[in-house]
A and B are shown apart, each in its own frame.
Chain A
Amino acid sequence: MTPRYLGMRLATFVLTILVASTLNFAISRLTPQDPIAALLGRMASRGRTVENGAEILALYRERLGLDDPLPQQYLNYMGNLLRGDLGYSLAFFPIKAEAVILRALPWTIGLLSVATLLAFTVGNLLGALAVWPRVPAGFRWLVYLSMPFSAVPYYLLALILVYLFALNWSVFPLGGAFTPGSVRGFDLATLGDLLHHATLPVLSVVLAVIGFWALSMRGIMATVLGDDYLIYAQARGLRSRRIFSHYAMRNAMLPQVTALAIDFGRLISGQVLVEIIFNYPGVGWVLYNALRAADFFVIQGVTLFMVFAVALATLILDLIYPLLDPRIRY
């Protein structure tokens, strides 16, 4: 990888964050009133009152520097962002917004990475096996079976899963990330409790995404099966398993890795909503509560976090990609 490519890629990353945070600033300043008053007003119109409204309003006007000229406000805003200062949380007043988000972050990252990896692996294997010769027809049916799920939004699937497995059959807990009041430590009981609580949230993402990966892999693998290097590997008498893993899958995965980078935004958005359904204490749950409490800086922080997370994931995948495909030289 040349320094030039690395530089270009990093520049794109910075530019994306810059564009998104500028948009964020612009949107909140385009309102006729100042953003805090607008948000408080709307919450009030929906029958939710915020304690000490006037007091908080004054505090925030000062923080935002709403009396400064707009360019000055923008510079302040970007300066604060650069220092990782997102402002105070309104709902948990002395606590800063970044602290609220950071506290929720491990839950979201844990859930998201487990669900994404699981869905990506299982979905791709399923799709590949569905067209691989002499594989039981059951695999083909599994792919067809996964198709309707991929058309259904995660959070709707989540509601049905909660109803069936938590409410009706009580196999899994209704929500949360752990049993309230339980002692948490680095032991098996804690791990079991965490897994027990994570199963349904993970399952609702996995069920919905498996079909997506399986379907596209099925198409890619159907093409790869006719590729010359596969026929040549078979002609050399390589074992079918070796051909599948090192020749077919290894090549068919390349476009899927690219697709994963593109799809990451959709994944994180779905995750936010799934957390709400399951009261899972991640960033999505923080956002939901912030919206209900008009917690402006937390809302802003969560949206910026989403942008940052996706940009970072895309950057990482882009930097890894040349290692996966030796033909790519930047």
Chain B
Amino acid sequence: MATMSGQARESVVVLAVEGLSIHYEMRAATVRAVDGVDFELRDNEVLGLAGESGSGKSTLALGILRLLRAPGRVVAGSVRFGATDLLALDESALRELRWRQFAYIPQGSMSALNPVMRLQAQFRDTLTAHGERMPRAAMHARFVDVLQGVGLDADLLPRYPHELSGGMRQRVCIAMAMLLGPRLIIADEPTSALDVISQRVVLETLAAARKAIDASMLLIGHDMALLAQVTDRLGIMYAGRLVEMGETGTLFRDARHPYSRRLIASVPDVRARREFQSEAMDSEPQWPLDEPLQEVAAGHFVRPWGGGYDS
């Protein structure tokens, strides 16, 4: 039956993160950037993770992708990609999976592209690293294809990154992610460094490109309005922990945790959001974070903070 197979397809878990903790261990102090995070990402699903800078969401992305730099270190938990335990893979097996299976769209791609290499060489490097042997013309056709997929012109290929605008560079990174048709895309604040108009364009481009290859996506961001547009489910991160998670619609209608509510409430007013951000960044957590998440409705989880659940 069509519905059955549709449901079965939907329930396939692409990415399962369990009890993941990442610490920055420095001489002066240890910072718990990510602290016992669990979530699942299903096939063809877009999961958003929202929180302010400093909430640990970028660290989480790098941790899942095994791209952490010292002093950052995964201290506990597991990351499963399909049946594979990503944290247990050796370098070469990991390299095989990268990009072919999961791609990454970095935060503020201003500096993500090699400044001294033409774009076509960077595209070519990505293909040849995964053993794609094909004639030059075929390769070029492939690059043109992915560039057009994000609304860019082929004549960008012989250019250097600094010759492109921020929005163009961000779209180049989206095109790069499409190159090998991955099952999973992890996008870390793909629009953070852009002006308001480019933000919308880039996000729509990203959503369309993802849909075209039926990939799942973990989309990290701080702009609730943008996240609301493209995500199926949404997790709210605060001080390295998830405080609430649920269907995007449910969350916007019926957020329970006070932090989630403040994030959502901040959407229309840029000024208020700024103030809020600075307050949250330099103070101790305002809410207890130690109790386990509770399911308050089907698929809607909230971390108890000592107040009532009612809206």
CB nearest to B62 among chain A residues: A231
In the complex, the answer to whether B106 meets A231 with C-beta atoms within 8 Å is: yes
- Which chain A residues border B106 with CB–CB below 8 Å? 228, 231-232, 235
Per-residue CB contact flags for chain A residues 232-275 toward chain B (1 = under 8 Å, else 0) read: 11111111101000110011001000000000000000000000
B114 x A238 contact (CB < 8 A): no
- Contact status A236-B125, CB under 8 Å: yes
Chain A residues within an 8 Å CB radius of B113 = 229, 232
Q: Is A71 an interface residue (CB 8 A)?
A: no
Interface size range of chain B in the complex = 20 to 34
A324 to B115: give the CA distance in the assembly, Å. 11
Q: Please, which residue of chain A has its CB at the minimum distance from the CB of B114?
A: A229
Contacting residue for B95 out of A237, A324, A325, CB 8 A: A237
Is residue B259 within 8 Å, beta carbon to beta carbon, of the partner chain? no
A231 to B68, CA, bound (A): 9
C-alpha spacing A235/B173, complex, angstroms:
12
B164 at the interface (CB under 8 A from A): no
Q: Which of A238, A246, A325, A327 contacts B126 (CB 8 A)?
A: A238
Q: Is B98 an interface residue (CB 8 A)?
A: yes
| Least CB distance, B220 to chain A, in whole angstroms | 14
Indicate whether A227 sits within 8 Å of B111 (C-beta atoms), given known contacts A236-B99, A326-B160: yes
B275 to chain A, nearest CB (A): 29
Interface range for A: 20 to 34
Q: Is A226 in the interface zone, CB < 8 Å from B? A: yes
Does A225 have its Cβ within 8 Å of any Cβ on chain B? yes
B207: Cβ under 8 A from any A Cβ: no
Provide the bound-state CA to CA distance between A327 and B163, in Å: 9
Check A229–B111 contact: CB distance below 8 A. yes
Q: Which residues of B contact A235 (CB under 8 A)?
A: 65, 67, 98-99, 103-104, 106
User: In the bound complex, how far is the Cα of B104 from the Cα of A237, in angstroms?
Assistant: 11
Inter-subunit contact A233/B67 (CB<8 Å): no
Q: Contact check, A236 vs B126: say whether CB atoms are below 8 A apart.
A: yes
Closest approach, in angstroms, between the C-beta of A327 and any C-beta of chain B?
Answer: 5
Given the interface pairs A237-B129, A242-B129, the reply to whether A229 lies near B99 with Cβ below 8 Å is: no
Q: State which residues 195-252 of A face B: CB under 8 Å.
A: 225-229, 231-240, 242, 246-247, 250-251
Q: Tell me if B116 counts as interface (CB < 8 A to partner A).
A: yes
- B104: chain A residues at CB < 8 Å are 232, 235-236
Q: Is the CB of A246 within 8 A of B162?
A: no
Return chain B residues, CB-CB under 8 Å to A226.
69
Q: Is the CB of A231 within 8 A of B129?
A: no
User: Closest residue of chain A to B104, judged by CB?
Assistant: A235
In contact, A237 and B69 (Cβ under 8 angstroms): no
Closest to B102 in A: A235
Per-residue CB contact flags for chain B residues 116-155 toward chain A (1 = under 8 Å, else 0) read 1100000001100110000000000000000000000000
Residue of A nearest to B101 (CB): A237
Given A228-B111, A231-B106, A237-B95, A324 contacting B116 (CB threshold 8 A):
yes
A247 to chain B: which residues have CB within 8 Å? 114, 117
Q: Which residues of B contact A237 (CB under 8 A)?
A: 95-100, 126, 129-130
Contact status A246-B125, CB under 8 Å:
yes
Check A225/B126 contact, CB under 8 A, given A235-B98, A324-B116, A325-B116: no
Q: Which residues of A contact B129 (CB under 8 A)?
A: 236-239, 242
Assembled-state Cα–Cα distance A228/B188 (Å): 13
With a cutoff of 8 Å between Cβ atoms, the chain B residues found around residue A238 in the complex are 125-126, 129
B112 within 8 A of A: yes
Q: Indicate whether B242 reaches chain A with its CB closer than 8 angstroms.
A: no
Q: Nearest CB to that of B65 among chain A residues? A: A235
B203 at the interface (CB under 8 A from A): no
Give Cα A232 to B108, complex, Å.
12
Contact in complex: A239, B98 (CB < 8 Å): no
| Smallest CB separation, B188 vs chain A (Å) | 10
Which chain A residues border B99 with CB–CB below 8 Å? 235-237
B176 CB-CB contact with A under 8 Å: yes
Q: In the bound complex, do residue A246 and residue B98 qualify as a contact, i.e. CB atoms below 8 Å apart?
A: no
Chain B residues engaging chain A, CB cutoff 8 angstroms? 62, 65, 67, 69, 91, 95-100, 103-104, 106, 108-117, 125-126, 129-130, 160, 162, 173, 176
- Further 20 A-B residue pairs, CB within 8 A, beyond A232-B109, A235-B103, A236-B176: A134-B91, A228-B109, A228-B110, A228-B111, A228-B112, A229-B114, A229-B115, A232-B113, A234-B67, A235-B65, A235-B99, A236-B98, A236-B125, A236-B129, A237-B96, A237-B98, A237-B126, A237-B129, A242-B125, A327-B116
Closest 3 CB pairs of A and B: A237-B98, A228-B111, A232-B112
